Amino acid sequence: MRDLIGIEDFSKEEIDELIEISKDIMDNKEKYSEMCKGKILATLFFEPSTRTRLSFESAMLSLGGSILGFSNANSSSTSKGESLADTITVVSGYSDIIAMRHPKEGAPLVASMHSNVPIINAGDGGHNHPTQTLLDLLTISKEKGHIDNLTVGLCGDLKYGRTVHSLVTALSLYSNVKFVFISPEELKMPEYINEILDKKNIEYVETNNLEGSIPELDILYMTRIQRERFTDVEEYERLKDVYILDKKKLDNAKEDLSILHPLPRVNEIAVEVDDDKRRAAYFRQAENGRYMRMAIILKLLDEKNLNYEYKHLNDAIESNNCKCENSMCITSIERGLKQLAVKCNDNKLRCIFCDHEIK
């Protein structure tokens, strides 16, 4: 069966295919309005995320399907001490496809090991959020007409913001994309991302200067600095407002600069920027999420009977003598879960669930 756990589950060809399907849906809504008739999407949100949940639900309803689920963990059996594996096993008997959000990293992978229906990762802590990456790519493609030959600036929390990491990874599949990483020292892009780019000879610069970087950009991807990612509250308070995009900063921006943001925004983008309809693409981006998720649901239901295994699982090894120490990893709470690890290119042993190094 086919799942969507991380963006790497899809090849560049498949990503381009999803983008084309999304665009076709926008142009021919009627054609798709009954394609999931009789099918049920379960939205299992072990932590609240209204926007993402409503986007998935809107997608399924627009395909003529129906929805059930829960919007936070305390209305789930988890509160009764049930394992994630059991919850998923049961719910996969009530639905045709599952979109899940979970605070622990790797939870969707655990789910996919027990589900009889496709699992879509709607965000697992600070780990993966592949549908966000796919709608970001759709947005770039719609705003610019192409994804290659672009200079892309990413601004804000580049350290903890995993959506940024998978977006960069995905963009690195396209030719002649240049990156400008704009962040304070403390929130710089992690080394392993830079290494990927170095290997592929992809150009990137690191800076803490937003205003100075804007003129050369085709895309500016702003991010929210999220409290929940910080262990040190003071550091959060010091950094949360370092970058605020306002009209003035856009004076020397390209006419056709596209400003993206995963939303919700707090104050990273001044409200006045919303009036710059051409450049302010973040609300169109949110709406694109509905159509990309329709495309994803269709693809996974379509390939439900395909024999496919999460790539890492193939060469995963069971490591009994060592254990993942990442407190945000699903292995830290899930009972009876075997620790699986994989030897990566960097020759480090990494937890297959959260990708953290195992010593």
List residues near a copy of itself by CB under 8 A.
33, 38, 40, 42, 48-51, 54-55, 57-58, 61-62, 64, 66-72, 74-77, 79-83, 85-87, 89-91, 93-95, 263-267, 270-272, 283, 286-287, 290, 335-336
Shortest CB 355 distance to a copy of itself, Å: 24
Which of these is catalytic: 43, 52, 87, 133?
52
How many angstroms separate the CA atoms of 101 and 244, rounded?
29
Output 39 or 356, the one with its CB closest to a copy of itself.
39
How many angstroms separate the CA atoms of 162 and 10, rounded?
17
Shortest CB 348 distance to a copy of itself, Å: 29
How many angstroms separate the CA atoms of 352 and 6, rounded?
12
How many angstroms separate the CA atoms of 293 and 359, rounded?
38
- Does the active-site annotation cover 129? yes
Output 116 or 208, the one with its CB closest to a copy of itself.
116
> How many Cα atoms within 13 Å fall on the side-chain side of residue 302?
8
Shortest CB 71 distance to a copy of itself, Å: 5
How many angstroms separate the CA atoms of 120 and 288, rounded?
17
Peptide bond into 264 cis (omega under 30): yes
Residue 246 in contact with residue 272, Cβ under 8 Å?
Answer: yes
Query: What tokens were used for 344?
Result: 């990566």
- Does the active-site annotation cover 52? yes
Shortest CB 247 distance to a copy of itself, Å: 13
Q: What is the DSSP letter of 150?
A: -
Shortest CB 315 distance to a copy of itself, Å: 23
> Between β-strands 151-155 and 317-318, what pairing exists: parallel, antiparallel or unpaired?
unpaired
Which of these is catalytic: 29, 37, 51, 343?
51
Output 75 or 176, the one with its CB closest to a copy of itself.
75
How many angstroms separate the CA atoms of 41 and 52, rounded?
14
Angle between helices 50-62 and 282-302 (to 10 degrees): 50
- Does the active-site annotation cover 278? no
Residue 130 in contact with residue 121, Cβ under 8 Å?
Answer: yes
Output 197 or 222, the one with its CB closest to a copy of itself.
222
Which of these is catalytic: 101, 127, 279, 356?
101
Output 50 or 252, the one with its CB closest to a copy of itself.
50
Output 62 or 151, the one with its CB closest to a copy of itself.
62
Shortest CB 346 distance to a copy of itself, Å: 33
Which of these is catalytic: 2, 53, 127, 129?
129
Number of other CB atoms surrounding residue 231 within 10 Å: 7
CA pseudo-torsion sign 319, 322, 328, 332: positive
Residue 126 in contact with residue 104, Cβ under 8 Å?
Answer: no
Integer angstrom CA distances of residue 167 from 135, 179, 299: 10, 11, 21
Output 263 or 349, the one with its CB closest to a copy of itself.
263
- Does the active-site annotation cover 51? yes
Shortest CB 30 distance to a copy of itself, Å: 8
- Does the active-site annotation cover 80? yes
Angle between helices 282-302 and 130-144 (to 10 degrees): 120
Q: Which residues are catalytic?
A: 51-52, 80, 101, 129
